Amino acid sequence: MTFFTTEIRRDPLALPPLDKVPEHVAIIMDGNGRWARHRGLPRSAGHRQGTENLRRIIRAAAEFGVRIVTIYAFSTENWARPRREVMLLMRILEMVIDRELQELDEEGVQIRHIGELDGIEERLARKVIEACEFTRDNQRLILNVAFNYGGRDEIVHAVQNIVRDGIAAEAITEATINNYMYTSDLPDPDLIIRTSGESRLSNFLIWQGAYSEIYTTETYWPDFGRSAFYEALVEYGNRRRRFGKTDDQINGEQMKATRVKERTI
């Protein structure tokens, strides 16, 4: 009998180790509404499933060794959605904090917020600040929640603060601007994932994403689970990042690094 092959006995959750893991993955969690529509469900059901999936992906990211995950949960443009949906997204964030904070903390997740808290109702803004405070010493995974976030808005605020601080025009470099970004102490995202078949940044990390690898998939966010995430990381591992240089330069740098490593062993 060949029914019980090794294929069946093998741990279904085991995935081969990744050669190269991105340190920082940013995600545009798109397609909740379409996921729901295709099932004849209200959009709220899509957001609820999307929230469930977020749990899976945070866990998977920690498992695969990703150090920072930035999620686009509510953009400055999302205020234009129907009021009921805006309220729902606010409630979801509040619910995630109320119900998941303890477990996220136990799993070593440090929660951060990027975006503006101005304009968000006071009770929720307070909870966001408290969640960040509560988890500030955790080191396993940084979860950056972009909520009421816009990339252009972030740049505008950076410029305003640079001017406020009286920094001379000639003294402004890329590093100066970087220092005024919400993510000033974090590396830029190595990989930006967007689900649901769209291929736009939609005002997400437009400064930080200048050299990010972009991965898009037709899969709607609620269905983009652990193995889909793994696949995205595998594809990232196969990409060659040149940062404006030529292939020959990159090959030379890699050979040099290997020689240095060999000499130090």
For binding to ligand FPP (CB under 6 A), which residues are involved?
A: 29-34, 47, 50-51, 54, 73, 78, 89, 92-93, 96, 196, 221
Known catalytic membership, residue 30: yes
User: Which amino acid does the sequence have at 125?
Assistant: A
Which of 183/219 has CB closer to ligand FPP? 219
Known catalytic membership, residue 251: no
Supply the DSSP symbol for 78.
G
Alpha helix locations (H) across the chain? Answer: 6-9, 32-37, 43-64, 83-106, 122-134, 151-164, 174-179, 226-238, 247-264
Which of 39/241 has CB closer to ligand FPP? 39
Q: Which long-range contacts (CB under 8 A, 24 or more apart) does 231-240 make?
A: 232/191, 232/193, 233/18, 233/21, 233/22, 233/25, 233/64, 233/66, 233/191, 234/18, 236/20, 236/22, 236/190, 236/191, 237/18, 237/19, 237/20, 237/21, 239/213
Which of 92/181 has CB closer to ligand FPP? 92
Q: Are 186 and 26 in contact (CB under 8 A)?
A: no
Give the CB-nearest residue to ligand FPP.
Answer: 33
11, 32, 78, 251: the catalytic one is 78
- Alpha-carbon distance 92 to 66, whole Å? 25
Q: Which two tokens stand for residue 21?
A: 């893991």
99-130 burial, b if ≥16 CB within 10 A, otherwise e? ebbeebbeeebbbbbbbbeeebeeebbebbee
Which of 32/212 has CB closer to ligand FPP? 32
Q: How far is the CB of 216 from ligand FPP (least distance, A)?
A: 13
| Chain-centroid distance, C-alpha 30 | 12
Q: How far is the CB of 212 from ligand FPP (least distance, A)?
A: 19
Which of 93/181 has CB closer to ligand FPP? 93
Active site residues: 30, 78
